[in-house]
Amino acid sequence: MVNQTDKQDQTNAPIGLAALEARLQQELDWLELPAKAWMPSLTRDAQPLLEVAIIGGGQAGMAAAASLLHLGIPAVIFDQSPAGFEGPWATTARMETLRSPKKLTGPALGFGALTFRAWFEAQFGLEAWEALDKIPRLQWMDYLRWYRQVLKLDIRNEHRVKGILPQPDGVVQLQLQTPAGEQVVLARRVVLATGRDGLGGAQLPEIAKEVPRTLWAHSSDAMDYQQLAGKRIGVIGAGSSSMDSAATALECGAASVDLLIRRTELPRINKGKGAGNPGLTHGHLQLPDAWKWRIRHYVNIQQTPPPTASVSRVSRFANTRFIFGAPIERIVSTGDGVQVHTPRGVFAYDFLIFSTGFRVDWSQRPEFDAIAPHIRPWAARYTPQAGEEDAELSALPDLGPVFEFQQAQPGALPGLERVHCFCYPAVLSHGTLSGDIPAISDGAQRLAQGIAALFYQEDIEFHYRNIEAYAEPELRGDEWQAWKPGQEDVRPAPILQEATP
Ligand SMILES: Cc1cc2nc3c(=O)[nH]c(=O)nc-3n(C[C@H](O)[C@H](O)[C@H](O)COP(=O)(O)OP(=O)(O)OC[C@H]3O[C@@H](n4cnc5c(N)ncnc54)[C@H](O)[C@@H]3O)c2cc1C
């Protein structure tokens, strides 16, 4: 006989990934997904055309590919990283856990069985889920690896896109560096899912350029922090990556770590989080420019506080200092170290870490050389009110409703609009839909539905011919008989009511 406790154990017992995968398959089957193939198979000079090529196999690229596949649109992802090491999580990120609350459904695209929670509970059970505070960084990467496998996404790793050349005749040429050498592929549409620094790279103060490259790193650089053991480290900035870099350096045995912080105190409120709601997700795109700018500028200048656990991770060490009101005035190289001049004094370090964020910077992305000069930035679209100037926002691309680039000079690079920008720099045009966990599914679905509509319009002659050629009968033709004149009347005789006397 099963007693109450056994019953409970059975209810809470992890079902295992195989059972979860079967459940996901059942959900997809019930919803008839993916849609059946409906796109024409096109070739160019006897070479097959990819329908959509996605550059980047992080969560944005994968959610975009899955959304396209569900709409019956094949998508191939190219990523320069080795398989399972896409994005920052298992490469350059150094936080212990994600900032995002564990309950966010991320790239699950509306399928309960595809959420991080389902994946976690299937392996570790409900109790472990309830006990979990934040998602460990590497566990998020494990979940993304499972996501890729369970959705059978076509990701070609160690394929670096070196060039993007839109053509006037409806295709975009991609030049790739692959393990088998250089390759050229043609795609009808290209999605840049290239990440937080997707159209550029590290944002560095001019002053950094005067310091020998051996004496500094950016917080997003891949670097073995063990080499900082015994050294005096200066970390410039006070965001989450500053804390992660400082803590990692301390844990790796740095002699000391100073955080040099321009502000007089840390921001405490996460305005970006406060701004998030379904209204912003679905309504930002249609807002007047002035509102788009005002919201993003406000969130920018308020700055995002580092997570509390990340700050405490640094504060645990006695050999660290938070030095506020210390903007960098000058850095003097002393051969094997630097002197950093600030209003709070001159500090000597063996190594500096700039944790100063990212920016659009085409010079750091040679793969975009052919398209960059033609991309219309927000600076060409909108002039902010006095006091709301914001160089970071001005440099962001002014995107169309399907995340597509628009031409700086109309007609100068035909085909540019076939390249869709589904990475962080889409934020001013579309809101935060193109990278961060909270609304990545909404962004991916907007992109996929928009691309489906564009393909349909473009191929309308093909689809019309298909309608004409469509010949699947729904009636056999023997379900009725046409009446002929002279045919015996089989209708019942009318009942004539007799008049009452
Ligand atoms: C340290 C850190 C912590 C973060 N923590 C959070 C968090 O807690 N919550 C949250 O919501 N967001 C967080 N973010 C923001 C965001 O969620 C991540 O940046 C996330 O990785 C974005 O996913 P993505 O798919 O857009 O880009 P990525 O994961 O960066 O993937 C982009 C991919 O594109 C590939 N690629 C780029 N250029 C090329 C090329 N030319 N050819 C081939 N491949 C290319 C890269 O190799 C990479 O794999 C964090 C960001 C960072 C940097």
What is the pLDDT confidence band of residue 1, given thresholds at 50, 70 and 90?
Answer: very low
pLDDT per position as a tens digit, 312-349: 999 999 999 999 999 999 999 999 999 999 999 999 99
Q: Cα separation of 109 and 118, whole Å?
A: 13
pLDDT per position as a tens digit, 81-124: 999 999 999 999 999 999 999 999 999 999 999 999 999 999 99
The pLDDT of residue 488:
80
Helix axes 440-458, 460-469, angle to 10 degrees: 70
What is the pLDDT confidence band of residue 11, given thresholds at 50, 70 and 90?
Answer: low
Reported in sequence order, the residue ranges of 141-297 that DSSP labels E, i.e. its strands, are: 155-156, 160-166, 172-178, 181-192, 200-202, 216-218, 232-236, 256-260
Across residues 464-484, what is the average pLDDT?
A: 95
Place of tokens 């050389």: 369
For ligand 1, say whether the CB of 350 is within 6 Å of any of its atoms: no
> Model-level pTM?
0.95
For ligand 1, say whether the CB of 177 is within 6 Å of any of its atoms: no
The pLDDT of residue 489:
76
Whether the per-residue pLDDT at 487 is higher than 90: the answer is no
Backbone angles phi, psi at 422, to 5 degrees: -105, 60
Our mutation pick for probing the ligand 1 site, out of 54, 77, 79, 95, counting the most ligand atoms within 8 A of Cβ, is 79
Whether the per-residue pLDDT at 474 is higher than 70: the answer is yes
For ligand 1, say whether the CB of 56 is within 6 Å of any of its atoms: yes
The pLDDT of residue 432:
96
Whether the per-residue pLDDT at 157 is higher than 70: the answer is yes
Mean pLDDT of all residues belonging to the chain? 95
Instruction: Give the three-state DSSP class for 230.
Output: coil
Q: What atom of ligand 1 comes closest to residue 437's alpha carbon?
A: 11
Q: How far is the CA of 24 from the centre of ligand 1 (A)?
A: 26
Helix (H) or strand (E) holding 115: none
CB 360 within 8 A of CB 200: yes
Q: Cα separation of 403 and 429, whole Å?
A: 8
Q: What atom of ligand 1 comes closest to residue 92's alpha carbon?
A: 1
Whether the per-residue pLDDT at 3 is higher than 70: the answer is no
pLDDT per position as a tens digit, 40-87: 999 998 989 999 999 999 999 999 999 999 999 999 999 999 999 999
Q: What atom of ligand 1 comes closest to residue 367's alpha carbon?
A: 41
The pLDDT of residue 5:
47
For the chain, the first-to-last Cα distance in angstroms comes to 82
Q: What atom of ligand 1 comes closest to residue 197's alpha carbon?
A: 30
User: Could you give the C-alpha distances from 309 to 29, 95, 133, 268, 315, in angstroms and in order?
Assistant: 42, 9, 11, 13, 10
What is the pLDDT confidence band of residue 501, given thresholds at 50, 70 and 90?
Answer: low
Our mutation pick for probing the ligand 1 site, out of 80, 161, 364, counting the most ligand atoms within 8 A of Cβ, is 80
